[in-house]
Amino acid sequence: MDGFSSDFAAGAGGAGGAGKVDAGLIMEQVKVQIAVANAQELLQRMTDKCFRKCIGKPGSSLDNSEQKCVAMCMDRYMDAWNIVSKTYNSRLQRERARM
């Protein structure tokens, strides 16, 4: 059983719970799981894109130019991701403020 399932079960039937579920705890666990999934997706996409861009002939090691290319590619990808994330969050906050 994963951590979420066991925590959920403990919250649902735990001491003093009498069948009540702590919705706040569950929401926090869901938020953490979403953040982890987003980080994994970011890493996977960045790896795929930078590998295709920088590695011409895969081998047992990277030469100096490939290492530099991968490092620069990952830095640029993270910079772009951060800009997009900040812009998206700002837009969400503006939209929420209109409601």
In this structure, what CATH number is given to the domain that contains residue 33?
1.10.287.810
Specify if 73 maps to a domain. Answer: yes
Per-residue pLDDT of the chain (99 residues; tens, 9 = 90+): 444 444 444 444 444 455 577 888 999 999 999 999 999 999 999 999 999 999 988 889 999 999 999 999 999 999 999 999 999 999 999 999 988
Task: Print the domain residue range for 91.
Answer: 23-98
Q: Taking Cα atoms as reference points, which of 49, 55, 56 lies closest to residue 76?
A: 49
Longest dimension (CA), the chain: 62
**Whole-prediction pTM value?**
0.62
Specify if 59 maps to a domain. Answer: yes
Specify if 32 maps to a domain. Answer: yes
Specify if 1 maps to a domain. Answer: no
| Structural domain count, the chain | 1
pLDDT at 19: 58
Q: Are 51 and 77 in contact (CB under 8 A)?
A: no
Measured CA to CA, the distance from residue 62 to residue 69 in angstroms comes to 10
pLDDT at 23: 87
